[in-house]
Amino acid sequence: MPLHPRAFKVSVGWTLSLLFLGSVVHATESSLACPDWPTCFGTMAPEMTGGVFWEHLHRLVAGGLVLMFGLATWLARHEATDRPWIFRACVAGLALLIVQSVFGGLTVIYRLPDMVSTTHLGLAFLFLALATVLASATTAAPTGFEPGVGQKLRVFAAVAAGLVLAQSVLGALVRHTDGGMSCPDVPLCLGRVVPPLVNVQITSHYLHRVVAVVVTLVVLALAWWVRRRAVPDRVGRWVALAAVLVVMQVGLGIASVLSVLAVVPVSLHTLVAAGLLATLTTVATLAGRASVTTTPTVPAPSAVTAPTR
């Protein structure tokens, strides 16, 4: 088995851990524990105590991810000629990682500007989706789909993944505009179904909740739809995992508000969102591969021999 599929899978897991660490950094108010970048207090080996531990660990893990995905790109350079897009996607992913790292530096240099910090997190989720596509596209294609189901599932899961990505970007905006407690009550917001949308904090928080409801309904509908159709067991398990994760995500969102943004539920909220995005992207990619590889072919008409007299 080629090494690059394994490297892609490691990159996905690495990205999930990096997103979790980033959430811990913000939740513990450690984002500016290292006031300079790329060094920390002028060195690459600062004393790992307090907020410096979380912030510098986050930087080290980010640097490790760049090296890991660079290795994956190097290993994939000889991908079969019938799928040259894989290497091109690797190069794009590596460029995306570098840009995302630069945005991370800008958040420190310019003291956490809202849009730069939001872009930094949004790019991380986008890279996660790309790495997941590569990891899924380089594994064995699933077989056993009911005719026509693969392509429909691909679209269904891709729409769900797109909604989760949009929801995650909204969550990043809520986080970095300090809007996490703009709606301190659940399920209402400031005692209303629709609160007064008078500032970006309340507006982004409210929209985050609205999109959360939409995402939950779409993912649960996807799980219900798949249960009524013939799909490979591997794909079915991924869809079931998505259903579990979306329910967990709602619970963690509620817990984050009720606990007044405690570190554990807030950090897990980000991690589960990332896991949900990766899971749905996996489903869409596997279904897309099946819809291509299992397309029925029309047999050539057999020759008919005229009867002899």
What pLDDT was estimated at residue 79? 66
Quick one: DSSP state of residue 307?
P
Q: Can you give the pLDDT at residue 294? A: 47
DSSP per position, 120-153 = HHHHHHHHHHHHHHHHHHTSPPP--PPTTHHHHH
Domain boundaries, the chain: 1-139, 144-293
> What pLDDT was estimated at residue 290?
77
pLDDT at residue 226, as a whole number? 95
C-beta separation of 205 from 180 below 8 A = yes
Residue-by-residue pLDDT tens, the chain, 309 positions: 567 889 999 999 999 999 999 999 999 999 999 999 999 999 999 999 999 999 999 999 999 999 999 999 998 887 655 688 899 999 999 999 999 999 999 999 999 999 999 999 999 999 999 999 999 999 888 888 888 899 999 999 999 999 999 999 999 999 999 999 999 999 999 999 999 999 999 999 999 999 999 999 999 999 999 999 989 999 999 999 999 999 999 999 999 999 999 999 999 999 999 999 999 999 999 999 876 654 444 444 444 444 444
What do you get for the CA distance between the two ends of the chain, in Å?
A: 59
